[in-house]
Each structure stands twice: as structure tokens, then as C-alpha cells.
Amino acid sequence: MADNLEIVYQSRNRLAHHEPALYNRFTETIAAIKYIAQHLEAPTPGDHTPLYRLIADDIVSVEASAATLHSELDAYRQP
């Protein structure tokens, strides 16, 4: 749990300083948030916890937006 909280903390610091959290950092951050939401005070970890159910739609939306943004950014990277 501590490792996942550290990932979220580091991403939060980057965002607070107006730095991007894209690609691998974004993927790690979302994975950490999911882990925390699935395990926090849950006798059996999973997608059924109250916190996970609360943020599930937002996670799907953010992941879709990130996929779109990453593909647009990749278009600028290609020669």
C-alpha cells in the first residue's frame, strides 16, 4: 500500500508544479489509484469496494481521455 501511495504522492507533486503526468507515469498512477481503491479497508480486495465503485466511472473516463491525448501526442513524435 505504501508504494502505491508514494506513486500517487509523486504524481500529485508533479501536477501541483504544472508538470505532465503522461504515458508511464500516468499508467503507474492509475494502477496505484485502482490498487488503493480495491484494497483500502476491504476484507476481500476487488472492484466491489465502496471507494472503487465511487470512482470507477471516472477512471474509465480519464483512461479514455488519456488514450486520446497520448495518440495525439504520438502523432507529433512521428517523422
pLDDT > 90 in the chain, percent: 87
How does residue 41 score in pLDDT terms, banded at 50, 70 and 90? confident
Q: Is 15 helix (H, G, I), strand (E, B) or coil?
A: helix
How does residue 39 score in pLDDT terms, banded at 50, 70 and 90? very high
CA distances from 32 to 2, 4, 25, 76 (A): 10, 5, 10, 29
C-alpha torsion sign, points 50, 10, 27, 45: negative
pLDDT for 42: 86
Q: Is the pLDDT of residue 6 over 80?
A: yes
